[in-house]
Structure 1
Amino acid sequence: MLTLQQKLALQQKLSPQQIQYQKLLQLNTLALEQRIKTELELNPILEETIEEDIELREEENAETDESIEEEDDSYQNDDDEFGIEDFMNDEDIDLDKLNRSKDEEKSRPLAPQKKSLRESLIDQLYMLELTEEETILGENIIGSLDKDGYFREDLQRLVNDLKLFEHIDISLENAEKVLKQIQTLEPVGIASRNLQECLLVQIKNSSYDPYYSYLAEKILTNHFDDFVNKRYDVIQKNLNLTRETLKSTLQLIQKLNPKPGEGNIDSEELNQITPDFIIEKVEDNYIVTLNDKSLPSVTISKSYLELLENNKRKRKISERDKETHKFLREKFESAKWFIASLQQRRNTLLKIMRAILERQYEFFENGPRFLKPMIYKDIADEIGMDISTISRVVNGKYVQSPQGIHELKYFFSEGLPTDSGDEVSNKHIKELIKEICDNEPKKNPYSDDKIASILQEKGIHIARRTVAKYREQLKIPVARLRKEL
């Protein structure tokens, strides 16, 4: 049986302008630059202005400060905030650039984009004397490398796929030869299938002392498991070596690169990080600026506004003029809110970065050891914004300061109690663990229990399992594998 019933519900929905603002908030400087260029292409009402033609006036700054709210959670949709007449009357208006301090530094020139390792390998591949089919196979091998430069795919399956999909018939024997040739490209050892093969390729193509190279090759070939697990006594006994000879051979192996790709196989990982914020110390004060001088400066097109205004003043409007007016009005509203969102994004980013600077002042003054425990809620409560807003700003953005370049996430960490009753950041504890491991006796490295005991002596209450977790995050091996001769 069908029934009708009324239901009262309270729902909270985001306006299109709020959604646009939140999306812009997530973008870093480089992504925002692309977003602005895309908007310039899509919206004819928007146009890019030349930096040299922009003259900022103090009264414009004051008007813009009042028209754009700084609070993320009270974003208002007010169509009367500024209208067509505002843009018609202001010859130099550029809302994206307003509120800029004259003292803000000009953007640093970025380093030119480097060629990725994968692209470099392709260039080297073309220099080899290979057939067209072998070159295609080589391109597929290089394209399959992981972030450390290893070839983890099944070579036979790759050969079968080339035969099935590209009608390229190469024997597995010839494919092995192509792979071996790629492994000798720079950096040597690239495209190896495992660590053992990677180290062996480097030894065989090195110019080290022939005797120690021979011993190193023998250890890696016949005693690799003992080498990985640092069973040096077993190796010494089986090869009948003196302690000094074994030590010299192991030192040679340790010079080899276990990760030829070094995490930079692709160009986006190779490019220099562009900081979103710049913090400089001027006399006794720290100044926070946004590194956004390279962003396109956008404003409203005068010619389109005049067309919109003329259509508005016509007594008789044709259907075509109505459609034109409707189109221009929609684009004007879109452009208006896009510019407002850019400015609000700027205000929000600066507000959050200044709050982080204030909380972590000791870090910027004295270094990583003085990093304080801090979570998103601390900043959100301090500046009156939602935690989700802090998360959007922090994610994927970097700051350049006298202490170097750091991701904003770096400044947020949990804390552990100390004897003094204060809390110490877990990042500081990781620094201490690394320092303890760096200075431990190499013949008898400290266990996790011993490291925990040392930290307890420093007044830091920490469990052994927590030490183990932090050590693993630092990629420090267990004590047995840190042992040296």
Structure 2
Amino acid sequence: MLSLQQKMSLQQKLSPQQIQYQKLLQLNTLALEQRIKTELELNPILEETLEDEMELEQLEEEPEKDNDSDEEEEEQFDNSEDEFDLEDFMNDSEYEQEFERLNKNNDEEKVYPVAMQRKSMRDNLIDQLHMLDLTEEEMILGENIIGALDKDGYFKEDLEKLVKDLKLFEGIEVSLEDAEKVLKKIQTLEPVGIAARNLQECLLIQIRNSSYDPYYSYIAEKILSEHFEDFINKRFDIIQKNLNLSTDTLKSALAIIQKLNPKPGEGNIDSEQINQITPDFIIEKVDDNYIVTLNDRAVPSVTISKTYLEMLENNKRKRKIPKREKEAHKFLREKFESAKWFIASLQQRRQTLMKIMQAILEKQYEFFENGPKYLKPMIYKDIADEIGMDISTISRVVNGKYVQSPQGIHELKYFFSEGLSTDDGNEISNKHIKELIKEICENEPKDKPYSDDKIASILQEKGIHIARRTVAKYREQLKIPVARLRKKII
């Protein structure tokens, strides 16, 4: 027997604009530069503002408008049936301020050094993943897939089980069909063939994304897809007979297969590779004050194309748009809305980044003034409460972004750590404790280095109560050998 039931549930859905803003928040400076260049290619309404053009605009004076003509224009636009008001957008002071802030400043260009950072292949895959056009749920799934890769770069987990676990434990819902699509996108990241489920799939992905001779690539693909067992068992005579190949053709196809990489993870997917890092923020001390700036001079400045705005405005003034122009008008209007939200999202991203970095600077002022030993305990919630934002927003900004200051270059995550209470009632961060352990080891007797128990007792004398096993853990994280290996004969 059928029955009808009513069920009420509260769901929070993000608008496309909110999703776009959150994705932009995750990007570091270099990734943002590429994202803007991509948007400039996709949206004709957007155009890059060149530095020379900006200087000319600053020198030109805007002619004063006659009030009566303004009123006439306003009346014309008020009678329009369009969903947006071009005149309002063009003259809106808030948007003008946003465009002005997005433009590069004309200060003398400074050259900032870049830090050498060791980054694993898994981290690089995550960075590439964030460049893909994925929903937030798909992005989380993709990060889990990359996190599950084995040392050779293979995805040996059950994808269906991973999808179910995400729904059960994290409330993330992605269909198995969409999960397959995400996996296939990951498999085409660099190195191509990563996240394959077996050797056959790994080699086929590489063939299909290669630039080898099309004919021999086609033969190689047929060998791998239809005669894989014969191939791995080197039954080349059977392959030649079944595919009716000449000896030269078979050799050429096999030569392509031999160039493929059977282990895209190279056996060390978590090993570190040297990469240069461009800091996202610059903190400089001027007199007695610290000044925070976004290191975004290389990021293209974008604005709305005046040419396309005039086309939209002309169409808007027409009482009736001809049929042949309606599609073009609809296209331009959609691109205009997209461009408007993209620019607003860029500006909102900029403001959010500056707010968070400024709050970190204020909370960790002693660190920037005196160094690592003065780093205070701080968690994401501390900054979220300080500036009135969600913890998830703080997490997006902090992840993968770097700041250059008089104390060196640090990832923003560095400034967040749990705290430990001391005998005098103060709290110190675990990073401070690590600095103390490092200092103790540097100043210990070279012929009789301290054991972990001795280091723990020295810290206790300073009012810091910490277990020997915790000292051992921190020492290992600092890559300081055990006492017997630190001993030197004097």
Interval containing the TM-score (normalised by the shorter chain): 0.5 to 0.7
**How far off is 1:161 after superposition?**
7.7
What is the distance in 2 between the residues matched to 1:107 and 1:43? 31
What is the distance in 1 between the residues matched to 2:272 and 2:392? 31
Q: Deviations over 1:173-204 (max 9, x none)?
A: xxxxxxxxxxxxxxxxxxxx99xxxxxxxxxx
What is the distance in 1 between the residues matched to 2:419 and 2:281? 26
Q: What is the identity, as a one-letter code, of the residue corresponding to 1:31?
A: A
Listed as ranges, the gaps of 5+ residues in structure 2 are 59-81, 117-151, 154-230, 237-250, 257-266
What is the distance in 2 between the residues matched to 1:280 and 1:104? 15
**How far off is 1:445 after superposition?**
2.2
Residues 94 and 299 in structure 1, CA contact (< 8 A), matched pair in contact too: no
Partner of 2:342: 338
Partner of 1:227: none
CA 401–83 in structure 1, closer or farther in 2 if over 3 Å, else same: farther
**How far off is 1:345 after superposition?**
0.5
Partner of 1:85: 87
Q: Does 1:479 align with 2:479?
A: no
1:175-254 equivalent positions in 2, closer than 5 A: none
What is the distance in 2 between the residues matched to 1:332 and 1:441? 70
**How far off is 1:378 after superposition?**
0.6
Partner of 1:50: 50
Larger Rg: 1
1:314 aligned residue (318, 325, 328): 318
- How high is the TM-score relative to the length of structure 2? 0.60
CA 102–330 in structure 1, closer or farther in 2 if over 3 Å, else same: closer
Q: Deviations over 1:3-47 (max 9, x none)?
A: 222223222111110000000011111000000000000001000
What is the distance in 2 between the residues matched to 1:386 and 1:451? 39
Partner of 1:31: 31
What is the distance in 1 between the residues matched to 2:37 and 2:102? 22
CA 479–110 in structure 1, closer or farther in 2 if over 3 Å, else same: closer
**How far off is 1:323 after superposition?**
1.2
CA 422–306 in structure 1, closer or farther in 2 if over 3 Å, else same: same
**How far off is 1:371 after superposition?**
0.8
Q: What is the identity, as a one-letter code, of the residue corresponding to 2:86?
A: I
Partner of 2:13: 13
Q: Deviations over 1:195-249 (max 9, x none)?
A: xxxxxxxxxxxxxxxxxxxxxxxxxxxxxxxxxxxxxxxxxxxxxxxxxxxxxxx
Partner of 1:353: 357
**How far off is 1:476 after superposition?**
1.6
Residues 367 and 403 in structure 1, CA contact (< 8 A), matched pair in contact too: yes
Residues 280 and 402 in structure 1, CA contact (< 8 A), matched pair in contact too: yes
**How far off is 1:464 after superposition?**
0.8
Q: What is the identity, as a one-letter code, of the residue corresponding to 1:27?
A: L
**How far off is 1:334 after superposition?**
0.3
What is the distance in 2 between the residues matched to 1:81 and 1:479? 73
State the secondary structure of the residue aligned to 1:287: strand
CA 452–96 in structure 1, closer or farther in 2 if over 3 Å, else same: farther
Residues 97 and 297 in structure 1, CA contact (< 8 A), matched pair in contact too: no
CA 17–357 in structure 1, closer or farther in 2 if over 3 Å, else same: same
What is the distance in 2 between the residues matched to 1:360 and 1:111? 23
What is the distance in 2 between the residues matched to 1:8 and 1:392? 31
**How far off is 1:317 after superposition?**
2.4
1:25-424 equivalent positions in 2, closer than 5 A: 25-54=25-54, 83-86=85-88, 88=90, 93=96, 95-98=98-101, 106-108=109-111, 167=254, 263-264=272-273, 269-270=274-275, 272-424=276-428
What is the distance in 1 between the residues matched to 2:486 and 2:326? 77
State the secondary structure of the residue aligned to 2:285: strand
What is the distance in 2 between the residues matched to 1:291 and 1:356? 17
Residues 94 and 298 in structure 1, CA contact (< 8 A), matched pair in contact too: no
What is the distance in 1 between the residues matched to 2:448 and 2:351? 54
Q: Does 1:22 align with 2:25?
A: no
Residues 95 and 299 in structure 1, CA contact (< 8 A), matched pair in contact too: no
Q: What is the identity, as a one-letter code, of the residue corresponding to 1:441?
A: P
Residues 87 and 300 in structure 1, CA contact (< 8 A), matched pair in contact too: no
Residues 413 and 427 in structure 1, CA contact (< 8 A), matched pair in contact too: yes
Q: What is the identity, as a one-letter code, of the residue corresponding to 1:9?
A: S
Residues 102 and 302 in structure 2, CA contact (< 8 A), matched pair in contact too: no
Listed as ranges, the gaps of 5+ residues in structure 1 are 58-79, 114-143, 146-159, 170-192, 195-261
- How high is the TM-score relative to the length of structure 1? 0.61
CA 31–439 in structure 1, closer or farther in 2 if over 3 Å, else same: same
Percent sequence identity over aligned pairs: 77
**How far off is 1:82 after superposition?**
8.2
What is the distance in 2 between the residues matched to 1:101 and 1:49? 9
What is the distance in 2 between the residues matched to 1:8 and 1:83? 38
CA 49–391 in structure 1, closer or farther in 2 if over 3 Å, else same: same
CA 162–40 in structure 1, closer or farther in 2 if over 3 Å, else same: farther
**How far off is 1:375 after superposition?**
0.7
Q: What is the identity, as a one-letter code, of the residue corresponding to 2:50?
A: I
Residues 25 and 397 in structure 2, CA contact (< 8 A), matched pair in contact too: yes
State the secondary structure of the residue aligned to 2:282: strand
**Aligned length in residues:** 331
What is the distance in 1 between the residues matched to 2:255 and 2:344? 56
What is the distance in 1 between the residues matched to 2:111 and 2:451? 46
